[in-house]
Amino acid sequence: MQQRIRALRAPHAAIILAMCSVLPAVAAEGGAGDAATLPVLEILAMGGWIMWPIYLTLAAGVALSISRFLMIRLDQSRESDLQDWKPRGRSADDTLKAIQGMETGSLSQAAVDMLTQFRATRNPESMSAQIERHLTVRQDWFKPYQNWLNFLSESAGALGLLGTVLGMFQTFFGGTLDKDKVLHGMGLALITTLVGLVVSLILNFVLTLVRNHFDKSLDRQYQKLTEIRQAMLEAGALDSQRS
Give the pLDDT score at 35: 45
Query: Residue 119 and residue 116: Cα distance in Å, rounded?
Result: 5
Contacts with 90 (C-beta within 8 Å, 6 or more apart), sequence order = 98, 231, 235
Give the pLDDT score at 2: 47
Query: What is the DSSP-derived secondary structure letter of residue 47?
Result: T
Query: What is the DSSP-derived secondary structure letter of residue 30?
Result: S
Query: Residue 217 and residue 222: Cα distance in Å, rounded?
Result: 9
Rounded mean pLDDT of 98-112?
Answer: 91
Residue 48 has pLDDT above 70, yes or no: yes
CB-side neighbour CA atoms (13 Å) of 136: 6
Give the pLDDT score at 1: 45
Give the pLDDT score at 240: 46
Query: Residue 135 and residue 43: Cα distance in Å, rounded?
Result: 47
Query: Residue 62 and residue 59: Cα distance in Å, rounded?
Result: 5
Query: Residue 95 and residue 217: Cα distance in Å, rounded?
Result: 22
Rounded mean pLDDT of 200-218?
Answer: 96
Residue 109 has pLDDT above 80, yes or no: yes
Rounded mean pLDDT of 199-209?
Answer: 96
Rounded mean pLDDT of 142-170?
Answer: 89
Q: Are 225 and 113 in contact (CB under 8 A)?
A: no
Query: Residue 105 and residue 149: Cα distance in Å, rounded?
Result: 25
Residue 171 CA, distance from chain mean position? 36
Rounded mean pLDDT of 40-50?
Answer: 71
Q: Are 79 and 105 in contact (CB under 8 A)?
A: yes
Give the pLDDT score at 236: 65
The whole-model pTM stands at 0.75
Give the chain's mean pLDDT.
80
Cα-based distances in Å from 129 to 15, 28, 60, 175, 235: 54, 72, 37, 68, 19
**pLDDT tens figures, 172-193:** 766 666 666 666 667 777 888 8
CB-side neighbour CA atoms (13 Å) of 76: 14
Rounded mean pLDDT of 47-56?
Answer: 84
Give the pLDDT score at 23: 41
Q: Are 40 and 184 in contact (CB under 8 A)?
A: no
Rounded mean pLDDT of 74-88?
Answer: 90
**pLDDT tens figures, 161-174:** 888 888 777 777 66
Q: Are 5 and 158 in contact (CB under 8 A)?
A: yes
Domain boundary assignment for the chain: 2-242
Give the pLDDT score at 24: 44
First to last CA, the chain: 63
Residue 61 has pLDDT above 80, yes or no: yes
Rounded mean pLDDT of 111-125?
Answer: 88
DSSP line for 70-115? HHHHHHHHHTHHHHH---TT--HHHHHHHHHTSPP-HHHHHHHHHH
Which of 142, 150, 160, 149 is CA-nearest to residue 2? 150
Query: Residue 240 and residue 243: Cα distance in Å, rounded?
Result: 5
Query: Residue 211 and residue 213: Cα distance in Å, rounded?
Result: 5
